[in-house]
Amino acid sequence: MKEEVVLITGAGRGIGKAIAELFAEKGYAVALVSRTLIDVEAGASRIVNNGGTARAFVCDVGSSQQVERLISEVNQSLGPISILINNAGVAPSAKIETTTDEMWEKAMATNVSGAFFLSRAVVPGMRSLGRGQILSLASTAALRGYAYTTAYTASKHALLGLTRALAVELEKHKIAVNALCPGFVRTDIVLESVKNIVARTGKSAEEAERDLAKLNEGGKLIEPEAVAWLALQVVQWPQFQTGKAVLMDGTLID
């Protein structure tokens, strides 16, 4: 069977890197996307050296022009995209009164507009294929609020709203649209949050990490590989399911 092409944004590190490696291991052709080529070149080379199919691409997902160019390049080099994983994201942390316009706009551009631009760009090709999947990395912040994360939490709520709207619109075309909602994952974003807590409260890094971990079910930080495994389960669901928010324990929320 010809390899299915999966496009993963934010694929240079953390969750995106783990997803790219797992999907390549399972036989998918992987397009690794990041704003900086150096972040994804090494990952693509590692996958190819291990016998997989991968290409590295540069794109700022907050730019609709760059997204359109990206989709054209992926189609030409790997083939039609059947799976889109919107993983690129930023997580500014600040009190509401110190949340700047730039912080707000960057969170919305990356976390919401990027997912919108990419989804809009891949849908025509998926319609032609007669199937497709769009999976976005949301967060438990899409389902509840967290202090000092106004821009991030608002953007993840918006991302879940985008997911639900697209699911209804695209279901008749056999394009499934879902969102993963993990808690705090051991990524650079969470490590930056730890630094912010240390600076704001004077706690040690270990104490700050424990505080974040307590907000997760089980009281531990989630590893990126666990999120990647769940992403694979979602795209391989034996029955067509769409419009779900998927928690780490597999709970589905309509």
Catalytic residues: 152
Question: Distance between CA atoms of 162 and 119, rounded to whole angstroms?
Answer: 10
Alpha helix stretches (DSSP H) within the chain: 14-25, 37-49, 64-77, 101-108, 114-129, 150-170, 188-201, 205-214, 224-235
| DSSP type of residue 149 | B
Q: Residue 112: helix, strand or coil by DSSP?
A: helix
Between CA 119 and CA 166 the distance in angstroms is 9
Residue type, 213: A
